[in-house]
Amino acid sequence: MNRGPAGGETAAAFDAFVGHRYAALVRFGYVLTGNRASAEDLVQTALFRTYRRWDRLDDQVDPFAYVRRTMVNAHISWTRLLSSREQLFAEPPDRAGVDDGHDLERLQMWRQLATLPARMRAVLVLRFYEDLSAAETARVLGCSVGTIKSQTFRGLARLRRDLAEGDSDLIQDEASKLRSGARHENHR
Amino acid sequence: MSIEKQLRDTLRRVADDFDPTDAASGVRSEGMRVLAHRRRRQRMSVASAGLAAVLVAVAVPLGVSLLSAEPKPPDAPVAASSPPQTTADASAFDGPTRGSLAGNADFVEAIRQLDWLFPEEDDLLAPNPPVETRRVVYVGEFVQDDEFVGTAALVVGSANAEPTPAPSGEPDTYPRPPEPPSEPASEPTAESPTRPGYPQTDQLAAVWFIGPAGASADQMHPNQPRWISPDLPTSLFDDTTGTLLVIAAPGDTVEVSPRPEVAADGTVSRAYAASERTDGIAIAAVLPVPYDGPPSAQFRISRAGSVVAELAPDERIYGAPDGPDLELHYLRTPDYGGQDGLGSEELRIAASILSEYGLAADQVRFDVHYVGPLPGSRASTYAGLQVLTATFPSGAVLTRAEWIEMSPVLEPNKGDGYSYGLCADELSPAGLPAALRFIAIRCVVGAESEDDQSSLIVIPPGDGDAFYAEVGATERLVLYFDESGIGILDSFPDGAQTVLVYSVDEALLAEVSIWTE
């Protein structure tokens, strides 16, 4: 078992890691949970556990993968799909940049992600945000590759279906807004 | 744009647009020390509220006493200081709310009112009893070492729903409501958790709510609701800290076993030690689960002088597997058939074995005898087999073989799904090193239908003289070992129980019993 530096050296190593990776961890937590408060709570919980186990970690320079794994499993074990708490899955932050024509699609996708079970969403985030392979994702979640592939397939299928169903609603909403705008324009 | 690209694009844009604040001091090392100190102070304030009995169960080196206890016979006398024994019909779920937070009436009522399910849940078949039938059996804080594990609450309720099948194909499924036995149940054995007979009862359902330390009611999240027997205890296990919380009837004796012991002759036994309890609530320190797999701990309940149940933990707070990397000894070059990611299946099997038996990675030697293709069922596009042996500290050897199959899902053009199962799981005595043993397995691949594929696989030692084998009860069949040294018959001979393995000059090398699940 590796024994790392104790006391002040541990604190320095831990702080260096936090300073380097905190932003990435919170972004990951945000994509995973859908809201800032939960993301920050999750990061704090995971960092607390990491800090307590620092001397036993294999990687005492950049244990990003360990912290990420702790976040994912803590999130899954303590949450279920809570659709009545849609407010917890916040709207994505406003973009300052130019709309490239896909903002509506992204908004729809983000909203649909909120409806997925926590474990399924975690699989998709690990595979398509962190770009982990199926095997790497299986290691994070502690399950078989078969489970990961099954969850990936079903998650994507569900998004595909939900987006197709939501398209018609969205088009009607947007058309309605356009008609309202046109009427206002005509009354100037 | 494909759905995968759309998803990746969405996640990346959302993350890029999110502005994380700079790391607050609360997450740097000084903040971590303050947090640890605050939690220790919280624990002491809980103790001063009159719950010393509960904390003593943790503060006393229970883990040490458990691990060093001598095996006790099932009818070991209860300590003189224990409360009176309960009657045989006592229930763990009646009576006032128990636990360190039971005195907070508002909190208890808020827990009782919490929803068990939400409309968008996939698992609409799970029990969801009316609020008026619900009661909070337990609410309290998990404490282990210097760290709060979390807040836990057990809520039960009554429902009249018919037994419903668990959703198929999902890793997380609900168990059926317990069926009453058709004949008197047998006595529990040392190794198999048993559920003795119980009378036909109303349908009782339960759910655990889990939350962080100091959680408010709306921070308590439900685990899976499930049907339970009112006559048996229930439990919650935290993988990370190895804390076991048992909810038994007041007066029940609770004994805990951290892990099974595998003797050199291949037999398995357990040593149990009594756990301190208050009002039937026991919190015990057992072994954490550093790998993906079931916990090795079991507990035993005695009531009115008899053992009434011997059970594994039935609800878990999953942790992040953080055990050291496992070392596997490959006796042959694995063949993954070009399937992405199958290389982790052997690791998963090895990790599961370590978890089940409560052993560390350096206590077990894993030999991988075969990883390669296997005849699949009719709809299969690929099927593979993994065969491992685990040599325990006593020298006994566990042989475990699992299959994995890829086949199209029911809807066309939707891609493939995976299924997997067990072919063999056998303990044999110490003796010949595992790497030098012959293995013969019957493996049935498929979904238990007429399309299943039943094969015989014979695996000689890696370096050996095995050339061919004979098998068959009524008709002798011969199989030759291929260049990997494995022999596979894609149609299992009915009635076959042994295989005779010969060298090229027809000398008998071994007579091997065929294992099957």
Of residues B79 and B403, more confidently modeled: B403
Confidence check: pLDDT of B305 > 50: yes
pLDDT recorded at residue B37: 56
Q: Spell out which residues of chain A touch residue B116, defining contact as CB-CB under 8 Å.
A: none
- The model's confidence at residue B482, banded by pLDDT at 50, 70 and 90, is confident
Q: Spell out which residues of chain B touch residue A165, defining contact as CB-CB under 8 Å.
A: none
Using CB atoms and an 8 Å cut-off, which of residues 162-181 of chain A contact chain B? 163
Of residues B457 and A165, more confidently modeled: B457
- In angstroms, the separation between the Cα of residue B373 and the nearest Cα of chain A is 16
Q: What's the pTM value of the predicted model, to 2 decimals?
A: 0.59
Can you give the length of chain B in residues? 517
Of residues B109 and B243, more confidently modeled: B109
pLDDT recorded at residue B315: 85
Tokens of A165: 């169903």
Distance (Å, whole) CA B233 – CA B299? 10
Confidence check: pLDDT of A4 > 50: no
Confidence check: pLDDT of B194 > 70: no
What ipTM was predicted for this assembly? Answer: 0.80
List CB contacts of B408: < 8 A, sequence separation 6 or more.
B379, B381, B414, B415, B416, B417
Q: For residue range B54-111, list pLDDT tens digits in order.
A: 222 222 222 222 222 223 333 333 333 344 445 556 678 888 999 989 999 999 999 9
pLDDT recorded at residue A185: 34
| CB spacing of A14 vs B28 below 8 angstroms | yes
pLDDT recorded at residue B282: 85
Tokens 């030999």 locate to: B367
Distance (Å, whole) CA B344 – CA B341? 6
Q: Spell out which residues of chain B touch residue A128, defining contact as CB-CB under 8 Å.
A: 4, 7-8, 11
Please, what is the Cα angle at B343 between B340 and B345, to 5 degrees? 110
Confidence check: pLDDT of B166 > 60: no
Percent of chain B with pLDDT over 70: 70
pLDDT recorded at residue B255: 93
Tokens of B80: 């003189």
- The model's confidence at residue B200, banded by pLDDT at 50, 70 and 90, is very low
Can you give the length of chain A in residues? 188
Q: For residue range A36-89, list pLDDT tens digits in order.
A: 878 888 888 888 878 877 777 777 778 898 899 888 877 875 553 333 333 345
Indicate the range of B237-251, B368-382, B441-455 predicted with least confidence.
B441-455
pLDDT recorded at residue B98: 92
| CB spacing of A133 vs B340 below 8 angstroms | yes
Q: For residue range B488-509, list pLDDT tens digits in order.
A: 988 888 888 999 998 888 888 9
Could you write out the DSSP letters of every residue in A77-109?
HH----GGGGGGSPPPPPP-S---S-HHHHHHH
pLDDT recorded at residue B78: 35
